[in-house]
Amino acid sequence: MAVVEVRQGNSPVILGFPHTGTDVPAAIWDRLNDNGRILADTDWHIHQLYDGLLPEVTVVRATFHRYVIDANRDPEGVSLYPGQNTTGLIPETDFDGKPIWKDGEAPTEADIAERLRSFHAPYHAALAAEIERVKAIHGVVVLYDCHSIRSRIPFLFEGKLPDLNIGTDMGKTCAPDIEKATAAIAAAAEGYSSILNGRFKGGWTTRHYGRPETGVHAIQMELAQSTHLAAEEPPFALDATRSALLRKPLGAILNRIETIAFDLKTLTGSEA
C-alpha cells in the first residue's frame, strides 16, 4: 500500500493529514486486541471535511493508522506535553488509557525502528518535499495541519474541549497575522467555541516545520469531533448537516490564510 497520498496544487497553503489513515498491515493488525481494532483514535473523515475548500491547495495525507506509528510525534520519542497524559510514537494505549495490544504483543524497539523507516519517514519526506516545492513557487508556504479528537476524553483533558483548537506553539510557528486571523475567524464563527494555544498548542509537525523566519509557517487546527460527527462513537459516521455548517468557517480560515501568504510573498519580494 502507498503509505502517503499527495495531491499537488499551486496555492501557498498545504494541508497535512497525519491521522486520517485507517490502513493497518495484517501483521500489525493481528497484534492489536479487540479494543485496538476499533481504531477509535482516528481523525475521522476530516480529509473529506476540508475537501474543495481551497482551490489549488496541496494535500499530504498519511494512509496508515496512528497505531502503526504516529506521524505527528517526534521520531526520537520526546513528549509534546511533559507531565501530561498523552500517547507516544507508537501508542501502547488508546486516548482513554486502555491497552490496544494483545498481551505480549506491544511494539518492541525493533518495531519502532522499522516503522519509522517504513511509515513515519516517508510521510515526512513527502511533506518536506511539498514544502520545498511550494516555497520555490511562492517564496513562502503555510502548512495547515489538520486534526480532530473526541470532545470529552478525561484521560487527556478535563471537561469538554472547545470546538476549534488553534495551535501555534505560543506564536512561534507562524507569522502573527496568520495566528491572529485564524483566531478571529474562529472566535466569530456563530455556534462554535474556540481557543488559541489551549490544551493543544501544535503537535510535532507544526513545531518541527514552523520556521517563520525562513518563510515556512505552520499552524494546527484540532477540531472537536462533536462538530462534524453524528456521534463520537462507532461507527464514527460523518454528519452531513454539521459538516456543511463547519465547512463555512474552515473555508474562511483557509482563504484568509492564503491571502495573508500572498501578502507575505509581496512583502518579502519573492517572485513566483
For 190-224, the three-class secondary structure string (H helix, E strand, C coil) is CCCCEEECCCCCCCHHHHHHCEHHHCEEEEEEEEE
C-alpha span between 4 and 174 (Å, rounded): 25
Side-chain half-sphere exposure of 206, counting CA atoms within 13 A: 27
**How many other C-beta atoms lie within 10 A of the C-beta of residue 37?**
13
Three-state DSSP state, 162: coil
| pLDDT at residue 229 is higher than 90 | yes
Kindly state the average pLDDT of the residues 215-226: 98
pLDDT more than 90, % of the chain:
92
Whether residue 194 is predicted with pLDDT greater than 60 in this model: the reply is: yes
Q: pTM of the entire structure?
A: 0.94
Q: How far apart are CA 44 and CA 242, in angstroms?
A: 14
Cell of 9: 496544487
Segment 11-45, tens digit of pLDDT: 999 999 999 999 999 999 999 999 999 999 999 99
Structure confidence at residue 195 (pLDDT): 98
97: region left, alpha or beta (phi > 0 left; psi from -120 to 50 alpha): left
Residue-wise pLDDT tens digits, 100-129: 999 999 999 999 999 999 999 999 999 999
What pLDDT score does 268 carry?
Answer: 56
For residues 168-173, give the mean pLDDT. Answer: 98
Mean pLDDT estimate for the chain: 95
Residue 211 has pLDDT above 50, yes or no: yes
Hey, what's the cell of 246? 463547519
Question: Whose CA is closest to 39, among 55, 47, 28?
Answer: 28
pLDDT recorded at residue 271: 41
